[in-house]
Amino acid sequence: MKLVILDRDGVINFDSAQFIKSPAEWKPIPGSLEAIARLTQAGYRVVVATNQSGVGRGLFDMDTLNAIHEKMHKALFAAGGRIDAIFYCPHPADSDCECRKPKPGMYKRIAETLNVNLKGVPSVGDSLRDLQACAVLGCKPILVRTGKGEKTKAEGNLPDGTLEFADLAAVADWILAEPKS
């Protein structure tokens, strides 16, 4: 199975220090929807792994999170792409859950749900916790400089083998140019 795992805020859509709390606040980063469309049209399954602590903090409810994701799905469909699944952690940052990145629980769930080994699977994020969580299960950590990416790069301590790209469109270019086995 050809698979790509994406963080949401800062990779697909613009991030906000105040959280994305409504569909109106969800705005795609230029080129991100088209990048996902190119991947899906090339036979990749694209899944999202996203911390959504705003739910646990009471900033928005599950209906609102679902409405935000519905807007994302519709925008992707219009661009010719799709997200096959969205995995999320609704717990607040101080929670001791196993699913909140940088813990690998969400990635374990992806592997179990899709019945796939994540070794070498490209996983794209803009924060250190995205890269740490995916690296535990052998994903290929990829940092984009959108969202918090520039700050993450400057702070360093990236997992070994982390690749870096300007944005999701550049990641898609790289993935699609890779020799196929």
Q: Please indicate whether residue 9 is annotated as part of the active site.
A: yes
The residue from 7, 15, 126, 130 that is catalytic is 7
DSSP state of 12: T
SS3 176: helix
What count of other Cβ atoms lies within 10 Å of the Cβ of residue 161? 10
Is 173 marked active-site? no
Positions marked active-site: 7, 9
